[in-house]
Amino acid sequence: MPPRSHTLATAPKPADEKITVNVGCVDLGQIDLLVQEGFYANRTDLIRTAIRNQLSVHNDAVRQAVARKTLVLGIQHYTAADLEAVKAAGETLQIRVLGLASIATDVTPALALATIESLTVLGALHASPAVKTALKQRIR
């Protein structure tokens, strides 16, 4: 049975996550040539376009996996008020997100431990270092 849904606060749009990619010299040269020829504004533009194209190719597989794994697709933001409501209801959360899970800075480690049973994030987790440390054993 999927976890019970709760109304969540709206969070500001998060900044892009940075990743590092090792690229062979020949591939890098081809990327630079396409940028130089005006096909792309810069290396990042080409890489983002390539990633979006591959995600589009595998869109059906992603949708099926999201449904099968009962993941929330997108951004989930949790504030202290959200978690206090969960606590008052005598419930706990099994957070499963594909995208960004954000736990507000007003959430204490004790409140996180009392209300978050498990946390699975495919993407990025934004939370204070103290909350991340408290939930370490519950992050999958």
Summarised one tens digit per residue, pLDDT across range 35-87 is: 999 999 999 999 999 999 999 999 999 889 888 778 888 999 999 999 999 99
The residues, any chain, with a CB within 8 Å of residue 107's CB and separated by 6 or more, are 78, 79, 80, 83, 127, 128, 131
- Closest by CA to 126, choosing from 4, 6, 16, 8, is 16
Residue 1 has a CB neighbour count (10 Å cut-off) of 4
Residue 34 has a CB neighbour count (10 Å cut-off) of 14
Place of tokens 């204490």: 108
Mean pLDDT of 4-22: 69
pLDDT of the residue at 14: 73
The model scores a pTM over 0.95: no
Mean pLDDT of 14-35: 91
